[in-house]
């Protein structure tokens, strides 16, 4: 029996798998959004023109794992049913990823709005405090007698 330092229960393994799949959907959806952004695409073009990046890609493409994955993909693309299945799977993953991204953006906006509201309340409170101090200072000034106008004779 092999000794494993990290034993995972089937439930935690399935949760990790779901979490990984969900994150992959989010990354795929974000990639699709980024591909619509001209600025992001210009940066990608710069990266692809970098000789170090090109050398890395050439090395990766020469690996056995990459070659096998490409062959599997090419074989799958020959079968119209598999193509349809892959397209549907990709569309579903993108839709799920977009929903997660939208939810994340909504939560971020809501928390940002809550922070903005708190900041506005704090600013209003500070302004009220400053106004009260100014009013008190003006009141004090009015209470001080005009010494020059006092006739001591």
Length of the chain: 153
Which segment of 1-15, 48-62, 112-126 scores lowest on mean pLDDT? 1-15
Q: Which of 88, 95, 123, 115 has the alpha carbon at shortest distance from 28?
A: 95
Mean pLDDT to the nearest integer, 82-110: 91
Percent of the chain with pLDDT over 90: 50
The span from the CA of 10 to the CA of 19, in Å, is: 14
Are the beta carbons of 100 and 25 closer than 8 angstroms? yes
CA distance 116 to 122: 10
Q: How many CA atoms lie within 13 A of 82 on its CB side?
A: 8
* pLDDT mean over 33-46: 94
Tell me, yes or no, if the pTM score tops 0.75: no
Q: Is the pLDDT of residue 1 over 90?
A: no
Q: What distance in Å separates the CA atoms of residue 100 and residue 106, rounded to the nearest whole number?
A: 10
54, 48 in Cβ contact below 8 A?
yes
Query: Does residue 44 carry a pLDDT above 90?
Result: yes
State the Cα–Cα distance between residues 64 and 72, nearest whole angstrom. 12
């Amino acid at each position: 029996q092999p000794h494993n330092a990290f034993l995972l229960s089937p439930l935690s393994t399935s949760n990790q798998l779901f979490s990984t799949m969900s994150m992959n959907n989010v990354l795929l959806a974000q990639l699709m959004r980024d591909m619509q952004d001209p600025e992001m695409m210009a940066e990608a073009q710069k990266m692809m023109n970098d000789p170090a990046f090109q050398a890395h890609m050439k090395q990766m493409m020469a690996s056995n794992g990459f070659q096998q994955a490409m062959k599997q993909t090419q074989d799958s693309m020959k079968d119209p049913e598999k193509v349809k299945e892959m397209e549907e799977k990709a569309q579903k993953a993108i839709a799920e990823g977009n929903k997660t991204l939208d939810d994340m953006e909504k939560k971020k906006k809501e928390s940002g709005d809550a922070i903005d509201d708190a900041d506005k309340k704090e600013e209003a409170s500070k302004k009220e405090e400053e106004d009260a101090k100014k009013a008190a200072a003006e009141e004090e000034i009015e209470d001080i007698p005009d010494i020059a106008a006092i006739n001591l004779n």
